[in-house]
Amino acid sequence: MTDVSSIAATKRHDSLGCSMDRLEDDRTIEGRDLTFYRKRSAAAPPGRVTTPATGRGYLVGLSAAGGHRRRIFKEHHSNLHDFEQNAVYLRNFADDYRADLSGSFDFMLLEINHNALERIADAGDFKGVGELRSIAAYPDPVLGGMLGALFATVDGCADRSALFVDQLSVAIGVHVVQQYGNGRGGAATSARRLSSRCQVKIKDLVQSQLNGDLTVDQLASACNLSPAIFLRAFRETMGKTPHRWLQQQRIEKAVDLLQFSQTPLSEIASLCGFSDQSHFTRAFVKAMGNTPGAWRRSRQF
């Protein structure tokens, strides 16, 4: 899990205290202001787990499957918590932690430090948020959906551009601060739309970097907006997230090249920003219902 076990001291542990000898799935994604982890093994580590207090910030864990149980010990008492799917715990690394874990062991986690918390709160105009509150086994299907999308794979492959990770990091950060912060939201609830001039700028930026190596910061700066406000305005205006809109632009360019040129499929994949031809084929089939080659042949007379 995410805590240092006092037993099995000879086994290797990662930076969160998980036994690397037991993990069947162990992934890390570096996002905007947040670090994400996926940890899974057949069963929870035996024995009591403990971590001493540190100043590294907060840890949020979400159970990807039901059946997990943990008893968390306080100074003079303990509480038993059952975790169903999409149940969240949030704890402050500044507090000593002791717990007994049992049952299933499948968690997606995110770590947020104090500086990142301050940046997210300022960008989202969340008034007075300086801390996150500790919780255990709290249902949060919204966070579960976003973390699930971040770690999702298709046929064992992850189609994850920098823009995709960046936009999800912003959205997850805003959700965590809004849901678990100790302040109140301001502009986070306000709605707005992108101007026509801003839409043109965004399209030019995306067309120039169809590989997705853009950040939400770059797109938001073109509109003189904070990342959090930009994402809400973009969805309000375009009806989809920046990454989904990027995918649409890729497919539209691919359709044009397939129909009006003899450019090889592998070259089209590269020109349209796909990581390889296999990635291109999966995205094209999802959008158009057929493979690029078959679609091109159906347009030939």
Q: How many CB atoms lie within 10 A of CB 123?
A: 23
**Is the model more confident about 138 or about 21?**
138
pLDDT at 4: 39
Please answer whether residues 253 and 206 qualify as being in contact, where contact means their C-beta atoms are separated by less than 8 angstroms: no
Does 269 lie in the same domain as 135? no
What are the CA-CA distances from residue 173 to residues 82, 189, 217 (Å)? 25, 15, 14
Which residue type is seen at 57?
A: G
- Among 15-19, 26-30, 92-96, 242-246, the range scoring the smallest mean pLDDT is 15-19
Domains held by the chain: number: 2
Residue 3 lies in a domain: no
Residue 150 lies in a domain: yes
pLDDT of 281 higher than 90: yes
Residue 12 lies in a domain: no
| Rounded CA separation 125/130 (Å) | 12
Please answer whether residues 60 and 112 qualify as being in contact, where contact means their C-beta atoms are separated by less than 8 angstroms: yes
What are the CA-CA distances from residue 90 to residues 34, 101, 109, 137, 153 (Å)? 14, 16, 10, 9, 26
Tell me the sheet residues that pair with 166: none
Residues in the chain: 301
User: What's the domain range around 270?
Assistant: 194-297
Does 268 lie in the same domain as 200? yes
Does 200 lie in the same domain as 159? no
Final residue belonging to a domain, choices 132, 152, 178: 178
pLDDT at 272: 94
Residue 27 lies in a domain: yes
Does 171 lie in the same domain as 145? yes
Taking residues 255-259, what's their average pLDDT?
Answer: 95
Taking residues 29-49, what's their average pLDDT?
Answer: 86
Does 119 lie in the same domain as 85? yes
pLDDT at 136: 94
Q: Pinpoint the alpha helices (H) of the chain.
A: 114-123, 141-151, 162-180, 196-208, 216-222, 227-238, 242-260, 265-271, 277-288, 292-298
**Residues 130/135/140/142 CA torsion (nearest 10 deg):** 20
Taking residues 66-71, what's their average pLDDT?
Answer: 93
| Rounded CA separation 201/209 (Å) | 13
- Among 14-23, 83-92, 257-266, 275-284, the range scoring the smallest mean pLDDT is 14-23
Residue 218 lies in a domain: yes
Please answer whether residues 277 and 266 qualify as being in contact, where contact means their C-beta atoms are separated by less than 8 angstroms: yes
Taking residues 58-70, what's their average pLDDT?
Answer: 95
Please answer whether residues 62 and 140 qualify as being in contact, where contact means their C-beta atoms are separated by less than 8 angstroms: yes
Count of CA atoms in the C-beta half-sphere (13 A) of 35? 12
Does 171 lie in the same domain as 291? no
Does 149 lie in the same domain as 31? yes
Final residue belonging to a domain, choices 178, 207, 241: 178
Residue 4 lies in a domain: no
Residue 223 lies in a domain: yes
pLDDT at 294: 95
pLDDT at 288: 95
pLDDT at 125: 76
pLDDT of 9 higher than 50: no
Taking residues 142-147, what's their average pLDDT?
Answer: 96
- Among 15-29, 161-175, 209-223, 286-300, the range scoring the smallest mean pLDDT is 15-29
Q: Is the pTM of this model over 0.85?
A: no
CATH number of the structural domain spanning residue 155:
2.60.120.280
| Rounded CA separation 182/80 (Å) | 25
CATH number of the structural domain spanning residue 236:
1.10.10.60
Please answer whether residues 193 and 231 qualify as being in contact, where contact means their C-beta atoms are separated by less than 8 angstroms: no
Q: Which residue has tokens 């057929």?
A: 290
| Rounded CA separation 102/44 (Å) | 5
Residue 227 lies in a domain: yes
Does 252 lie in the same domain as 146? no
Does 172 lie in the same domain as 33? yes
pLDDT at 177: 93
Does 132 lie in the same domain as 35? yes
Does 158 lie in the same domain as 55? yes
Taking residues 84-99, what's their average pLDDT?
Answer: 94
pLDDT at 42: 85
Does 58 lie in the same domain as 170? yes
pLDDT at 159: 64
Tell me the sheet residues that pair with 58: 92, 112
pLDDT at 184: 60
Taking residues 59-77, what's their average pLDDT?
Answer: 93
Kindly report, residue by residue over 180-206, the tens digit of the pLDDT. 998 765 444 456 889 999 999 999 999
Q: Percent of the chain scored above 70 by pLDDT?
A: 87
pLDDT at 110: 96
